[in-house]
Structure 1
């Protein structure tokens, strides 16, 4: 039975192999370990192995873990859908939010970020596949929301996030990720703080890295399947 450390190292190796394969700069793609629903004992093993970026989907669970570890070297990412009545604890505790999909959420996070904290790093979630079951805005809506966020003093616009469409046709994924990369490159030219394309999970890590992802989100391949 493989350990979390072995699985984490395997995931990192996969990332580095694909960086080289697609002529990406070495270590230009970060690993975000998706630790949602996993106990602190599992996360502790990953921390001991050197992992520092962790992603949580549920507000209270994530806050509890952040408070438990109380470690400034860890970077906590909120990657789940965010309701307006739950923005305050996210603004108070997390370092990143990947799922900004409307102005109201951005405004609340900006207003609720505590004084003395660094600005909250945020990504705009894009529904690149147009699936009704997924959150996110359209490509055409990105510029207006990006400009609004850029004007908020307690938020830092870092880039874009998307969830790839599950498809048996790899060309579908390739095309959507290519479109995301084009949007990302356009955004980088307009906003100096933009440097992050959060794209790709265990099943589509290779095309994500091929098309410019700077951060891949991997959960079960590190921590095992959720029970």
Structure 2
């Protein structure tokens, strides 16, 4: 085992242990929380190492980079998730290539994914990104516009709405993000009641705050730096 393999394998084990501890601490089952290893700007060789260590779900944010990795690692049964902001012009490249797209924040984008998925004869799972803090620089639909957007999405035939995603403001103390995680959970519960649907996925929590996110109901944490180290590109 070389030094990089040792580093990644140990980091993965540590993150898994912390996820398990956080889940058990708040009375949840460990398997209720999925780890999405954020592999953007890290080489396919790192993903392969983690795959051999048992990790299957990987999150990417840049379309061309992600598609190149998918081609390079085509022999592996990887659960690819698209978690970054998605431009409308690239939506057709994403549909059908990822288990879920976490960053849908407009009916235009949902519609483009829907049309391409229909062409491919597949159903594309999507999550709606909510800007719970109202930060102008961040993507995501505002809370007030969420019901209208969900109603439109539910009328589409080839995308399946499976949950909500959020990127709260950054805090040195992860407790600062907790209210935003709790808010997303409450929004999901409200939308379930409003539309009579199930939204099983809450994608929230990253390297610095995933334990607080789990305690507030996250079903999927997106962890990059704590597994891969600092991004340097490749």
Q: Is 1:107 matched with 2:111?
A: yes
Structure 1 residue 65: deviation in Å? 1.1
2:204 is matched with 199
1:120 aligns with 2:129: no
The 5-angstrom pairing of residues 1-227 of structure 1 reads 2-71=6-75, 73-113=77-117, 115=119, 117-168=121-172, 172-189=176-193, 190-227=195-232
CA distance in 2, matches of 1:172, 1:128: 13
Q: For residues 73 and 29 of structure 1, what CA distance do their matches in structure 2 show?
A: 20
* Number of residue pairs the alignment of both structures matches: 227
Task: Give deviations 1:7-38, integer Å, cap 9, x for gaps.
Answer: 11111111010000111123101000001011
Deviates most, 176-185 or 197-206: 176-185
What is the TM-score with the length of structure 1 in the denominator?
0.93
Cα offset, 1:186, TM superposition: 2.1
Superimposed CA distance per residue, residues 72-111 of structure 1 (whole angstroms, 9 cap, x where no aligned partner): 7311111111111111111142221100011100000100
Maintained 8 Å contact 1:159/1:187 = no
SS in 1 for 2:15: helix
C-alpha contact 1:128 1:162 (8 A) present in aligned 2: yes
CA distance in 1, matches of 2:165, 2:207: 15
Contact 2:96 2:124 survives alignment (8 Å): no
Report the Cα distance in structure 2 between the residues aligned to 1:72 and 1:46, rounded to whole angstroms.
12
SS in 1 for 2:208: helix
More divergent stretch after superposition (65-74 vs 151-160): 65-74
Greater shift after overlay, 130-139 or 109-118? 109-118
Instruction: Look up the SS of the partner of 1:3 in the other structure.
Output: helix
1:150 is displaced (CA, Å) by: 1.8
1:184-218 Cα distance to aligned partner (Å, 9 max, x none): 22233435452100000010112101110000000
Uncovered stretches (5+) of structure 1, i.e. residues with no partner: none
Q: Distance in 2 between matches of 1:134 and 1:47?
A: 31
What is the rounded CA distance, in whole Å, between the counterparts of 2:176 and 2:12 in structure 1? Answer: 28
Uncovered stretches (5+) of structure 2, i.e. residues with no partner: none
Query: What TM-score does the superposition give when structure 2 sets the normalisation length?
Result: 0.91
